[in-house]
Amino acid sequence: MSNPPQHRLGGLCIGIVLTDGFEQAEMTEPRAALEESGVLIRMLSDKKGRVRGVHHDQPGDLFDVDTTFNQVTADEFDALLLPGGKVNANSLRSNADAQALVRQIDAQGKPIAVICHAPWLLISAGLVQGRKMTSSPDVQQDLEKAGAHWVDEKVVVDRNWVSSRTPEDIPAFNAAFKGILAQRTRQHTRGTADDMPASAGEGG
For the chain, the domains span 6-194
Q: Which runs of consecutive H residues, i.e. helices, occur in the chain?
A: 25-36, 86-92, 96-107, 119-124, 137-145, 170-190
- Residue 56 known to be catalytic: no
Cβ burial of 84 (10 Å; 0-12, 13-18, 19+) is buried
Q: Are 94 and 166 within 8 A, CB to CB?
A: no
Percent of the chain's residues with pLDDT above 90: 83
Please state the pTM of the whole predicted model.
0.88
Q: Which of 113, 204, 82, 84 is nearest to 151 (CA)?
A: 204
Q: What CATH number labels 6-194? A: 3.40.50.880
Is a pLDDT exceeding 70 seen at residue 178?
Answer: yes
Q: How confident is the model at residue 204 (pLDDT cuts 50, 70, 90)?
A: very low
Distances (CA, A) of 19 to 10, 128, 134, 151, 185: 26, 22, 22, 27, 29
Q: Is 85 left (phi over 0), alpha (psi -120 to 50) or beta?
A: left
Cβ burial of 56 (10 Å; 0-12, 13-18, 19+) is exposed
Of these residues, 7, 55, 56, 117, which one is catalytic? 117
SS3 content of the chain, % helix, strand, coil (to 5): 40, 25, 35
Q: How confident is the model at residue 194 (pLDDT cuts 50, 70, 90)?
A: very low
Cβ burial of 51 (10 Å; 0-12, 13-18, 19+) is buried
Q: Which of 200, 124, 104 is nearest to 159 (CA)?
A: 200
If one compares 54 and 186, the residue with the highest pLDDT of the two is 54
Percent of the chain's residues with pLDDT above 70: 87
Residues ≥6 apart with Cβ < 8 Å to 16: 27, 31, 41, 42, 43, 44, 80, 81, 82, 83
Residues 123-164: tens digit of each pLDDT: 999 999 999 999 999 999 999 999 999 999 999 999 999 999
